[in-house]
Chain A
Amino acid sequence: DGGITQSPKYLFRKEGQNVTLSCEQNLNHDAMYWYRQDPGQGLRLIYYSQIVNDFQKGDIAEGYSVSREKKESFPLTVTSAQKNPTAFYLCASSSTSGSSYEQYFGPGTRLTVT
Chain B
Amino acid sequence: GQSLEQPSEVTAVEGAIVQINCTYQTSGFYGLSWYQQHDGGAPTFLSYNGLDGLEETGRFSSFLSRSDSYGYLLLQELQMKDSASYFCAVRTFNAGNNRKLIWGLGTSLAVNP
Contacts and interface: CB of A to CB of B under 8 A. Distances in A.
Interface of A: 31, 33, 40-45, 48, 50, 56, 58, 90, 94, 96, 101-108
Interface of B: 30-31, 33, 41-45, 48, 50, 87, 89, 91, 94, 96, 98-101, 103-106
Contacts of A105: 42-44
A42 B103 contact: yes
Nearest to A54: B98
Contacts of A40: 106
A45 B100 contact: yes
Contact of B33 (A44, A56, A102, A104): A102
Given A42-B103, A45-B100, A48-B98, A107 B41 contact: yes
Contacts of B31: 101
A101 B48 contact: yes
A42 B96 CA distance: 25
Given A45-B101, A50-B99, A107-B42, 17 more contacts: A41-B106, A43-B43, A43-B87, A44-B103, A48-B98, A56-B94, A56-B98, A58-B100, A90-B42, A90-B43, A101-B33, A102-B45, A103-B43, A103-B101, A104-B45, A106-B42, A108-B41
Nearest to B94: A56
Contacts of B106: 40-42
A19 B21 CA distance: 38
A69 B97 CA distance: 22
A3 to B, nearest CB: 10
Contacts of B87: 42-43
B21 to A, nearest CB: 16
A42 B100 contact: no
- In order of increasing CB-CB distance, the 3 nearest A-B pairs are A105-B42, A42-B103, A42-B105
Nearest to B4: A42
